Amino acid sequence: MKTLNYFAIDLGATSGRTILASYDGTRVEMKEVTRFANPMIPLGGHLYWDIAGLYNEVLGGLRKVASEGIAIDSIGIDTWGCDFAFFGSDGQLLGMPHCYRDQHTVGAQEKFFEKMPAAEVYKHTGIQFMDFNSLFQLDTLKRNGSQALEHADKVLFIPDTLIYMLTGKAICEYTVASTSQMLNPMTGDLDEDILKALGLPREKFGVMTQPGTVVGTLTAQVQEATGLGAIPVVAVAGHDTGSAVAAVPAEDKEYAYLSCGTWSLLGIESEKAIISDDSFRENFTNEGGIEGTTRFLKNICGLWLFEQSRKEFKDAPASVGELVALCEQSDYDGLIFPDAPCFAAPASMTAAIREYCLSTGQAAPETPADYCRCIFRSLANRYREIVDILQGMCDFPIKKLHVIGGGSQNKYLMQYAADALNMPVICGPVEGTALGNVLMQMKASGVVDTLEQMRAISAASVDLVTYYPVAADKPIN
């Protein structure tokens, strides 16, 4: 078969990139086209995303591919969840989108629960409670008299925002909509009672769209700006974790997955949503997956702890690889609870970790090596806690952990996880979100038909590394 080329736009909460992926009938080869920062913009007492800047970076990636004469078969976009942008009836962007780390939603849950109790919200949505969920962001903006919301004709999640800017088509992609705590997994659409409590009509949001759907083609203006033709734009799993899980190279269902990056998203794939008293008590979430699946998971503070701490290290190696290897130089045994509120957005992460350890009767870490070891062992310990809870709520044995994303390259964290879980930890693909994005584009174009075929291609496209518990006396690759 001829080689097919797919353009993946993969935007994270700290950086973004555009990727060209080629499929030769057996495996997918990916090449980074552009990479760029995605900083939070402090303005007027709030934090925002520069969505126009991100759109311009996307155009830049498309221009570069066009300048090289590469024919693209389709384009797909995945991003972080929860955040959204407003557009007027004339199609114009109404300001910059708020960043989910903006503190304006502190205490927002309790205010919304005055209109609908927490148990009722969970019954309708099955989503983990976090201040920054779209539900609480929108309710906060409504209470604060947001002019952008008041005049909004369209409310679009971030991947849908970029699709709208590229194609002029307004959609509400299912997987990213499921992060909002506004989608009802039983009906497959935004929940009527939630919207009523918010005071927002359904028509302000785009048409509910399943991943693997061709939305439209690049507008004439975008074609002129990039030098490309009418390239199809596909709604992939718009939430980056949804795309990452699509690329898990699993051979059976007896596994848990960990999307390991700034956030650690740890869960299982389920055929249906798990909404129960237990899942409500443990604050687990049911997010939309591909091919009718549900991602039943827990959202854990991840390598954000490390990313923020390393900015403060003095006289430490600059490279991440050398820095994480400092773990070998420390025997510090203190542990933190990664999901403690004090680690959400501290002025100083190292100070927050130090204060937490002292307040819990532990010695404080002193060196970069101590901080690295503390962070990685604490995350591994948290993974064990969550897998134990998952095992009690799923109907199959969890025998291994599949890890996808950049964190899978951290051999110290991965070995700590294997030891804590006492099970194999299978790492790869590193570029899970981009590969899952591409696999859904392939599904939309008819190249593959089933989830099993997609995962077989994923397995053929990457070199996996497996870590075993040291006590099991098995080799570590």
Question: Which of 17-21, 138-142, 205-209, 315-319 shows the lowest per-residue confidence on average (mean pLDDT)?
Answer: 315-319
Tell which of 241, 271, 289 closes a domain: 241
Same domain, 205 and 292: no
In a domain, 259, yes or no: yes
Same domain, 252 and 294: yes
In a domain, 439, yes or no: no
Query: How much is the pLDDT for 476?
Result: 42
Residue 316 banded pLDDT, cuts 50, 70, 90: confident
Residue 325 banded pLDDT, cuts 50, 70, 90: very high
Residue 471 banded pLDDT, cuts 50, 70, 90: low
In a domain, 434, yes or no: no
In a domain, 341, yes or no: yes
Residue 17 banded pLDDT, cuts 50, 70, 90: very high
Residue 129 banded pLDDT, cuts 50, 70, 90: very high
Tell which of 212, 241, 270 closes a domain: 241
Tens digit of pLDDT for each residue in 114-128? 999 999 999 999 999
Tens digit of pLDDT for each residue in 64-78? 999 999 999 999 999
Same domain, 231 and 263: no
Query: How much is the pLDDT for 219?
Result: 98
Q: Which residues does the annotation mark as catalytic?
A: 240
In a domain, 343, yes or no: yes
Tell me the residue range of the domain where 267 lies: 248-428+447-477
Tell which of 185, 210, 241 closes a domain: 241
Residue 63 has pLDDT above 80, yes or no: yes
Query: How much is the pLDDT for 317?
Result: 86
Same domain, 166 and 217: yes
Q: CATH number for the domain including 332?
A: 3.30.420.40
Give the pLDDT mean for 453-461. Answer: 94
Domain count, the chain: 2
In a domain, 284, yes or no: yes
Query: How much is the pLDDT for 475?
Result: 41
Task: Show the 3-state SS of the chain.
Answer: CCCEEEEEEEECCCEEEEEEEEECCCCEEEEEEEEEECCEEEECCEEEECHHHHHHHHHHHHHHHHHCCCCCCEEEEEECCCCEEEECCCCCECCCCECCCCHHHCCHHHHHHCCCCHHHHHHHHCCCCCCCCHHHHHHHHHHCCCHHHHCCCEEEEHHHHHHHHHHCCCEEEHHHHHHHCCEECCCCEECHHHHHHHCCCHHHECEEECCCEEEEECCHHHHHHHCCCCCEEEECCCEHHHHHHHCCCCCCCCCEEEEECCEEEEEEEECCCCCCHHHHHCCCEEEECCCCCEEEEEEEECCHHHHHHHCCCCCCCCCHHHHHHHHHHCCCCCCCCCCCHHHCCCCCHHHHHHHHHHHCCCCCCCCHHHHHHHHHHHHHHHHHHHHHHHHHHCCCCCCCEEEECHHHHCHHHHHHHHHHHCCCEEECCCCHHHHHHHHHHHHHCCCCCCHHHHHHHHHHHCCCEEECCHHHCCCCC
In a domain, 438, yes or no: no
High-pLDDT (> 90) share of the chain, %: 92
Residue 472 has pLDDT above 50, yes or no: no
Residue 315 banded pLDDT, cuts 50, 70, 90: confident
Same domain, 297 and 316: yes
Same domain, 68 and 127: yes
Tens digit of pLDDT for each residue in 84-96? 999 999 999 999 9
Residue 61 has pLDDT above 60, yes or no: yes
Tens digit of pLDDT for each residue in 436-448? 999 999 999 999 9
Tens digit of pLDDT for each residue in 367-425? 999 999 999 999 999 999 999 999 999 989 999 999 998 899 999 999 999 999 999 99
- Single pTM value for the model: 0.88
In a domain, 377, yes or no: yes
